[in-house]
Structure 1
Amino acid sequence: MPKLLYITANPKTSAALSKGAQIGEAFLEAFTKEKPETEIVRMHLYDMDIPEIDMDLLYARAKLSFMGKTFDQLTMVEQEKITRMHELADRFIDADYYVFVTPLWNLGAPAVLKAFMDNLFIVDKTFTNKEHGPEGLLTDRKAVHIQTRGGIYSTGPMAEYEFGDRYLRKALGFLGMEVMDSLVAEGMDHFPEQAPEIMEKAKRLAVETAKRMASEE
């Protein structure tokens, strides 16, 4: 059974409060119509235990990778955090399709998304190092990013300041995943009178993209 991982990084959990969630739900509805056998797994990052790359994790990774230590030789805290890191990575790897729903805040994605992604970069699990450089291991997986922006960042003077979508696409590509064109709804704060039209356009695009993702092998 195929599995779709639906990842949200916004403290607003309901579609009534979150424009991104509204677009995401439109995507899911269209996808499940095309591929009804798909298992949908929701991950709301604000409700999860996500280890940050702190001193414990830095030392745990170093001890296991090049300091010659075994798992049993780690401190209890290091064991707990490295175990949680691998649990998150394993849950991520277990899917076939991925939908990320995030807002653009202060030029980037919410910090919780970066913390989550930091747990996925594990040598010989999600990528490996070759003579020619790193190579992603999460091939044959498709991902799409749904992002809402209050201002205009696709063109004009703010285009060079958008680092949320840009980061996520690069990170997923590094891991070997096929990243589809992002679904962006922008300008709703700057042009509130146009917000309904912007949202309808984004939902239509979400439906089209969902159908394409579900139909492509």
Structure 2
Amino acid sequence: MEKLLYITANPKGLEKSKGLKIGEAFLEAFHEERPDAEIKKIDLFALDFVQMDRDLVFARGKLAGYGYTLDQLSDAEREKILKMHELADEFISYDYYVFVSPMWNLNSPAVLKAYIDTLFIAGKTFVHTANGPKGLLTGKRAIHIQTRGGQYTGTPMQEMESGDRYLRIAMNFLGIEMMDTVIAEGLDLNPRKAPEIVEAAKERAILSAKEMAKTPLPV
């Protein structure tokens, strides 16, 4: 049974969030095509997970570069690094990923970056080679659904968007194939047109969901 992990980074909730409504349209379409697939939702604003701090930075360095074992770490370092690996192991167990986030101040909410930080584990999700890092999460696919208050696509502001760009770089680094991003933008510039913009994004999300569900995963 293939599995889809639905990861959201929006504190508004489904009733208020335009992005989450678009995401739900994606999920419904995916489920229609693949009713056998297991789907799990993660709300990053409600998820209690370890984030990069002094203990984790030291633990990663000790294990990766200085030859320490888990037993040689402090209690706090060991507890946090094990929780980090547990979260990464859960992520690795899935085949498909859907990220839903708004654009805040040119980027994604900080909680999404914090979550992605937990996935970068040498030897587990990527390896160092003579030709540079190589992602180990091949054979998986992901998509990003992003809402933007302003208009960025096709304008001088396009180069300033860094949320979707970073996510795509990060997933590609880990070996995950990224689909085209579903973007709903100009929502604050044209509030009266917001329902129309959202409906158009839902249609694109539905098409993307069907594509994801029907396209065989790369081997």
TM-score normalised by length of structure 1: 0.98
* Superposed CA RMSD: 0.8
- 1:157 shift after superposition: 2.1
CA distance in 1, matches of 2:206, 2:134: 32
Alignment check: 8 A CA contact 1:183 1:205 kept: yes
Specify every segment of 5 or more residues in structure 2 that has no aligned partner in the other structure, as ranges: none
Alignment check: 8 A CA contact 1:104 1:147 kept: yes
Q: How many residues align?
A: 216
Secondary structure, counterpart of 1:121 in structure 2: coil
- The answer to which of 40-49 and 141-150 deviates more is 40-49
Specify every segment of 5 or more residues in structure 1 that has no aligned partner in the other structure, as ranges: none
Alignment check: 8 A CA contact 1:148 1:184 kept: yes
In structure 2, the partner of 1:117 is 116
CA distance in 2, matches of 1:178, 1:63: 31
In structure 1, the partner of 2:33 is 34
- 1:13 shift after superposition: 2.2
Structure 2 residue 53 is the aligned partner of structure 1 residue 51: no
Q: 1:122-158 CA deviation, whole Å, 9 max, x = no partner?
A: 0111011111111100001000000000001112121
In structure 1, the partner of 2:192 is 193
Secondary structure, counterpart of 1:79 in structure 2: helix
In structure 2, the partner of 1:128 is 127
**Segments ≥4 residues shifted beyond 4 Å:** none
Give the residue type in structure 2 aligned to 1:4: L
Q: 1:58-85 CA deviation, whole Å, 9 max, x = no partner?
A: 1101111222211011111101110111
In structure 2, the partner of 1:89 is 88
- 1:12 shift after superposition: 1.6
TM-score normalised by length of structure 2: 0.97
Alignment check: 8 A CA contact 1:50 1:115 kept: no
In structure 1, the partner of 2:12 is 12
